[in-house]
Amino acid sequence: MDKRPLGRTGLDIAPLVFGGNVFGWTADQKTSFALLDRFTGAGFNAIDTADVYSAWVPGNKGGESETIIGEWLKARPGQREKTVIITKVGWLGGSGGKGLSAGAIAARAEDSLRRLQTDYIDLYLSHRPDPDTPIDETLRAHEDLLRSGKVRAIGGSNYDATQLRAALDSAAAGNLPRYEVLQPEYNLFDRGSYEGALRDLCIAEGLGVITYYSLASGFLSGKYRSEADLAGKARGQRVSKYLNERGMRILAALDAVAAAHQAKPAEVALAWLIAREGVTAPIASATSVEQLDSLIRSAQLALSADDIAQLNQASA
């Protein structure tokens, strides 16, 4: 499968990233192993996780996703060198300090490396801006990890255009390593926070961009079209905000394009992202091999200019 350069990181990734937030939450270890085997077997190579996944599950404390990925890597000799591991820091509290302080980053990185059972992280992201820590301190902590070889590249998640510009300027002024990748929320419904100044900045600076909530918490799969469809669903609260006139208009356009390609709405929604300027690859997760096979098909789905125009108009 063709790989895309991830900004200026020196890393190349296939045009779909597996979202490891489900590991240790809605996918147990056996299921997670099967999903990772199928994903990498299809030619994909990037897995996204975070030290906080999945602390929201009763009985969990964070790190469960990284632990499962580490066990999978251990059980698959030779796989580590072929896999781009993306993890994040800055949301989980605990020893070493909170947020993106130097102490927190140093301590959390060691924890992630131990759980992942590896001696390096390919891409280490600041999970969210930390207003209590100077950006210079954060970048110097990342610099230490880069110099030691424990991290290969760095980036940021949930930064707006002003925050990202400040981080890039600070790196340049202090001769520090800069964020080379952004991980924003972006999908057919949630377009406003990335499109415009933030996307323009990423394109101008040559940043790699990996989108999260690429299927709007599953809404763009077409599974949820009414409040009744959300009953008993873990994502019900997140998805309910999409059940409005605009959301239904987007689903109708997805249905029409999907029918024309004998595809599923989720496949079309991901193919739209893959085709967008300013997007390296979307993140998508699955909890069954059947779901995963559908996601895999999105990377082979070529949308026409008319298809994209129809989707753009519906989601405008």
Query: Active-site residues: which are they?
Result: 53
**Identity of the residue numbered 288:** S
In angstroms, what CA-CA distances link 243 with 10, 198, 235, 247? 41, 27, 13, 6
Biggest CA-to-CA distance, the chain: 54
Closest to 162 measured CA to CA, from 196, 124, 187: 196
In angstroms, what CA-CA distances link 103 with 22, 145, 259, 262? 28, 12, 52, 52
Helix, strand, coil shares, percent, the chain, to 5: 45, 15, 40
In angstroms, rounded to a whole number, what is the distance separating the alpha carbons of residues 115 and 110? Answer: 9
Altogether, the residues listed in the chain come to a count of 316
C-beta of residue 106 within 8 angstroms of C-beta of residue 137: no
**Identity of the residue numbered 4:** R
C-beta of residue 266 within 8 angstroms of C-beta of residue 221: yes
Strands (E), 107-233: 121-126, 151-157, 181-183, 208-211
Q: Pairing between strand 17-19 and 46-48? A: parallel
Is residue 309 classed exposed, middle or buried when 0-12, 13-18 and 19+ CB atoms within 10 A define those classes? exposed
C-beta of residue 181 within 8 angstroms of C-beta of residue 123: yes
